[in-house]
A and B are shown apart, each in its own frame.
Chain A
């Protein structure tokens, strides 16, 4: 006996979801929001602001923006990993080079270089993490705000 069930296939041709990028300016956030049909929530912090994008698939990405409009930190949470190539921008290459410790198995990923920190943890159906650039932290804003 064969079982047939109707499903849908979405071909995402030229439709890569985009987020504002670590180390760059935040002006792409609004268009990202429209593009992804994400809900955007803005929260003012002490010396920075948070733009929170909530995607329909349950993923959320928070972008930590300096008064000058620079994205100095990103955090994420959701049922699958975010597209780190997208959100890390020019830091992705640096991240890849550092991502080589192999005696740790199946646990969180921790990358710490002089000017880039990334932590990625969780398990299937529940991933979370943060990335930030220490040199881009606004004055008097500790790294701990990125969470």
Chain B
């Protein structure tokens, strides 16, 4: 049943402002979970793998399977393979072409479906409706979670704001290189409080009455959710554990995505140091006495994106633009500093990307020493610790507002 509460219109200076309601049709709205769960012994370990992905074109892509169900159903379910595991975003986004389930849309009181546009830093974007699903991984299940279907052909014209990054609409397996994106970063929602207020809402969510799309203000529980914090237990973050690989790379690597931090015997912090982030999920990286204050760890970035060729004195590749091609492998040590004052070194290597891509007859797709530039000089203010950072490490992602071991509250990283 869909609600019919009617529109209540009033005119503002430039904008038509309408008070409406949103509902997740056919099920309850998303609800949060306790941050102090009872001790859990259910299976919290989800297999993940680094390989070339479903389109055989993804270097350093981390993939997993995600099972979605019609909310409330235990039989009307589908498992989507090859979903990219991304600590640089929040929320589950699946290509609509891969989803055969009929999932209930999130609608307003005039039955307009909520739409979302996400522009990524590389200029690409995804666009499509927000729907509700139960999301299952390992033994964990989050109920009635708002997620996005990435439209292969849009019901509505893509808003021009959505295409303003200049890159492609990544709405096919070939373009996305995956069947979807599982965003399990430092935040509970993809937007947060900003999207609940007219004065602060960025262009992210839309409603399209009469096929004209305009910005929508969306309460927190109808925004895309990081599904992890909606699990009944093991919900304060994740641990990503990938094996060490050889310097020449590997065709593939298998690891674990473990839910919860310090909630079971398999996800204790151990010797990992906690680096809390700022409100945007960033920490400080220092190299050669210069601080880069918006640095981040991102499993969805496929290299160490580190400064520029002029600053480092190593060349870019001629036939793999944007990657570094030093004559021989170069070792670097940088220092990371959290908001909490934790400070510690990170050492990594950057090898010749041409050699890496051609090694093993071109059959390798997992590399722990792939580097790329973040610009010409001047570099931007960040170091992007991409997937190579994860090999041979336990990396913990602490979610905002959730309490971890020793009382630490997210957002934080630990490794």
Chain B residue total in the interface (Cβ 8 A): 97
Contact A105 B15 (CB under 8 A): no
- Determine, out of A22-30, A45-53, A60-68, A84-92, the stretch whose residues face the partner at the interface: A84-92
* B301 partner, pick from A3, A79, A105, beta carbons under 8 A: A105
A143 within 8 Å of B by Cβ? Answer: yes
- Separation of A86 and B90 alpha carbons in the complex (Å): 27
A15–B217 alpha-carbon span in the complex (Å)? 17
Q: Which of B39-47, B194-202, B257-265, B333-341 contacts A (4 or more CB under 8 A)?
A: B194-202
Q: Provide the residues of chain A in CB contact with B61, threshold 8 Å.
A: 105
Closest to A56 in B: B199
The answer to whether B302 and A57 have CB atoms under 8 Å apart is no
Quote the shortest CB–CB distance from B335 to chain A (angstroms).
Answer: 20
Pair B187/A80 contact, Cβ less than 8 Å: no
> Looking at chain A, what size class is its interface with the partner chain?
35 or more
- Given known A-B contacts A84-B164, A106-B122, A126 and B214 have beta carbons under 8 A apart: no
A146 CB to closest chain B CB (Å) equals: 7
Cβ contacts B269-284/A at 8 Å (1 or 0 each):
0000000000011100
A8–B18 CB distance below 8 A: yes
- Taking the closest CB of chain A, its distance from the CB of B163, in whole angstroms, is 7
CA distance A78 to B200 in the complex (A): 11
Determine if B217 and A119 form an interchain contact, defined as CB atoms under 8 angstroms apart: no
**Any A CB within 8 A of the CB of B23:** yes
Chain B residues with Cβ under 8 A from A121's Cβ? 121, 294, 305, 374-375, 380, 382, 384
**Per-residue interface assignment for chain A, residues 6 to 47, with 1 indicating a CB less than 8 Å from any chain B CB and 0 otherwise:** 111111111110000000000000000000000000000000
Most B Cβ at <10 Å: residue of A1, A92, A108: A108
Residues of B within 8 A of A108 (CB): 121-122, 305, 372, 374-375, 380, 382, 384
Given A86-B164, A122-B121, A124-B118, does the pair A10, B378 have CB atoms closer than 8 Å?
no
Q: Say yes or no for B20: interface residue by CB 8 A criterion.
A: yes
Q: How far is the CB of A130 from chain B (nearest CB, A)?
A: 7
Cβ contacts under 8 Å, B29 to chain A: 2-3, 5
Apart from the given pairs A57-B201, A84-B166, A121-B382, 9 other A-B contacts in the complex at a CB distance below 8 Å: A12-B214, A12-B215, A81-B164, A103-B320, A104-B122, A104-B303, A106-B298, A106-B386, A127-B121
A85 touches B108 (CB 8 A): no
Interface residue? A112 (CB, 8 A) = yes
Pairs A–B under 8 Å by Cβ, sample size 6: A13-B15, A79-B194, A106-B300, A107-B301, A110-B374, A120-B165
Is B248 in the interface zone, CB < 8 Å from A? no
- A128 near B381 with CB under 8 A, answer yes
- How many Å lie between the Cα of A7 and that of B205 in the bound state? 12
Q: Please name the residue on chain B nearest to A117 by beta carbon.
A: B376
B19 proximal to A (CB < 8 A): yes
* A96 within 8 A of partner (CB): yes
B381 partner residues in chain A, CB cutoff 8 A: 128, 147
Assuming the contacts A59-B202, A128-B382, asked whether A9 and B121 have C-beta atoms less than 8 A apart, the reply is: no
Given known contacts A5-B29, A128-B381, A130-B380, is B21 in contact with A123 (CB within 8 Å)? Answer: no
**A104 and B59 alpha carbons, distance in the complex (Å):** 8
CB-CB contacts of B299-323 with A at 8 A, as 1s and 0s?
Answer: 0111101000000000000001111
A122-B121, A130-B378 as given contacts; A104 in contact with B372, CB under 8 Å:
yes
Supposing A125-B281, A143-B377 touch, asked if A83 and B161 sit within 8 A by C-beta, the answer is yes
